[in-house]
Amino acid sequence: MRARFGVTETGSVWFSEQEYVVNAIGYIVQHLVVLLDSAQLVEGLQQVYRRAMRRWSPGRPATADIEGVLIRGAQGVCSLTIVWLV
72 pLDDT exceeds 90? no
Does residue 65 lie in a domain region? no
pLDDT of residue 39: 92
Say if 64 falls within a structural domain. Answer: no
The closest alpha carbon to 35, from 7, 1, 10, 79, belongs to: 1
Q: What is the pLDDT of residues 17-71, one digit of tens each?
A: 777 778 777 778 888 899 999 999 999 988 888 887 665 555 555 555 556 665 5
Give the pLDDT of residue 35.
Answer: 94
Q: How many domains does one find in the chain?
A: 1
Check: pTM over 0.85? Answer yes or no. no
pLDDT score for 59: 54
> 44 lies in which domain range?
5-58+74-85
- 85: pLDDT strictly greater than 70: yes
Spatial distance between the Cα atoms of 68 and 2, rounded to a whole number of angstroms: 28
